Structure 1
Amino acid sequence: MNIVLSRDSQARMMEDTVANAEKHLGQFCSLLAAYTRKTARLRDKADQLVGQLIGFASAEPPELRAAVRSFAEALAQVQDYRQAEVERLETKVVNPLKLYGAQIKQTRAEIKKLKHAQKNEIKQLQKLEKLRQKSPSDRQMIAETSVQRASADASRTTRQLEDTVGAFQRQKLKDLQKIFSDFVTIEMVFHAKAVEVYSSAFQTLENYRLERDLQDFTAKMQGVYGHHTARPLADSNPSPPVPRPPASRVSAWVGGVSPTEWGRGAAGPPGRL
């Protein structure tokens, strides 16, 4: 009976291990999927801001027009990086967590088999005990044989399940290490690229020559055009940023991710990772 109780404790521990994984991995998956969707929505709002900046710049003095358009181009470039971030998060973080649903379901089924074998063993032991309380007979010998079979079956099932749950736990730890490492890498790459672009944009805005625009404005207000002539830019209609799918199209799990988009690196077109 002590062996039976020991197996029961093992089964409960295995069940708790799987239940804990199901709870926390499910929450990680849900939260990181929401994180990815919100990142995509932030990208969409930034794209709208780019369009607004370009429209605003077209009616402003030359110096401010050039500075704002340069800022808009930088902001659009950052959103290209953010698009790559969204795709990479789906592929490397959200999708692997989603796959754990099926694996947990399979492990639960294995635990259920063990519990069934344990119940059968206990049932046969109880049956044997009742026969012993009556009188020795062939029926008792048959019952003892049934107990031995049930015990052997429970032992075999326990060993198999130990291997299954042990492998599950090992794979879970390994996967979580990779998933979280990928998450950190994705975020570091995005923010490093964004800081680089924003630093250049900041310098451009810092170098904005406000006085020259004020001189143009004052000259126009006073009607003195020989003093200083306004300086139109050669390119007054910059190309709009490359359109991207809206955040509503970014799936919580798998949403047509293009992993190659992230890996273009320096060889890709401007504004892409």
Structure 2
Amino acid sequence: RQGVLKNISDLETPNLNAALENVALAFDAVEQHRKIMIDRMDVRAKQNLHLYKIILAHKIIILKDELKLRENAVTKETKKQQALEKATIKSGIDKTKISQLELAGANQEVVHSNLALTEHVERFETQKMLDIKSILEEILYSEMVFHAKSLELYSEAKNILQAANIEEDIEYMNERLKFTHEEDLIKKQ
């Protein structure tokens, strides 16, 4: 657009020429701001998303480990429950008390691993939501700045175009035509 307007403006009258050049400059400035916005989004949003992907993979490994710990604690609790039931059947009071204590310890392990897993999931989800929100806010802010600046530049170009003095250009053209016509008459004589 800028090149076409520049080429056209070179052929026009002074006021229209200046207006077209200013419009071409506005288009050029908008394109420069578009590039800045894209660069900003590349730096801030894309890099953050890439880092987030790495963090996400690491968090998933941690959550899987926590889940394995919980599963092991549940398995241990189940075995202790079975041992208690066997001890109760055999009716050895000492064995029953020991099995009850072991079961209580296994129950505590399950409760602790459930709490740890819940805390990790909650922290992970909270951080994920905050990260996504931050990245999207950055994208939206970049878009808003770009469009606001574009609107400002286009408004200025429109005002310049509207302010172009067409009557003065018409007088200029008439003078040139009149001068050319007079030259032709002189040449014929």
The TM-score, its normalising length taken from structure 1, stands at 0.51
Of 213, 216, 232 in structure 1, the residue corresponding to residue 173 of structure 2 is 216
* Counterpart position of 1:202: 158
Q: Indicate the structure (1 or 2) with the bigger Cα radius of gyration.
A: 2
Deviating more after overlay: 186-195 vs 79-88:
186-195
Indicate the residue corresponding to 2:38 in structure 1: 86
- Alpha-carbon distance change, 139 to 63 in structure 1, aligned in 2, over 3 angstroms: same
Task: Give yes or no for the alignment of 1:63 onto 2:20.
Answer: no
Gaps of 5+ in 2: 184-189
In the alignment, the residues of structure 1 paired with residue 19 and residue 59 of structure 2 have an alpha-carbon distance, to the nearest angstrom, of 60
Residue matched to 1:163: 119
Aligned-CA RMSD value: 3.7
Q: For residues 142-182 of structure 1, what are the alpha-carbon distances to aligned partners after superposition, in whole Å with 9 as ceiling and x for unaligned? A: 87777566544444433333333333333334434433443
Q: Show CA shifts across 1:38-58 (max 9, x none).
A: xxxxxxxxxxx2122222322
Residue 225 of structure 1, CA deviation: 5.4
Q: CA deviation at 1:201?
A: 0.8
Q: 1:118 aligns with which of 65, 70, 79?
A: 70
What is the CA-CA distance between 1:130 and the residue it aligns to?
5.0
**Aligned-residue identity in percent:** 23
In structure 1, runs of 5+ residues without a counterpart are 1-48, 227-273
Separation in 1, partners of 2:53, 2:148: 34
- Are 2:77 and 2:107, in contact at CA under 8 Å, matched by a contact in 1? no
Distance (Å, rounded) in 2 between the aligned partners of 1:154 and 1:130: 16
Shift of residue 202 of structure 1?
Answer: 0.6
- Determine which of 22, 27, 50 is the counterpart of 2:2: 50
Partner residue in 1 for 2:24: 72
Contact 1:50 1:72 in 2 (8 A): yes
For 2:82 and 2:118, locate their aligned partners in 1 and report how far apart those are by CA, in whole Å.
32
Please, which moves more after superposition, 168-177 or 106-115?
168-177
Q: Distance in 2 between matches of 1:153 and 1:86?
A: 51
Give CA deviations for 1:80-99 in whole Å, capped at 9, x if unaligned.
Answer: 22222122222333322332
- 1:184 deviation in Å? 3.6
Instruction: Classify the secondary structure of the residue corresponding to 2:181.
Output: coil
Aligned residues: 178
Q: Distance in 2 between matches of 1:153 and 1:160?
A: 10
Please give the alpha-carbon distance, in whole angstroms, between the structure 2 residues aligned to 1:168 and 1:151: 26
Which runs of structure 2 are paired with 1:106-185 in the superposition (5 Å)?
Answer: 106-128=58-80, 132=85, 135-136=89-90, 150-185=106-141
Q: Aligned equivalents of 2:80 and 2:109: distance in 1? A: 17
Asked if structure 2 preserves the Cα contact closer than 8 Å seen for 1:93 and 1:179, the reply is yes
Q: 1:109 to 1:156 in 2, by over 3 A?
A: farther
**C-alpha deviations, 1:72-130, integer Å up to 9, x for none?**
01111222222221222223333223322122222222222233233323433444555
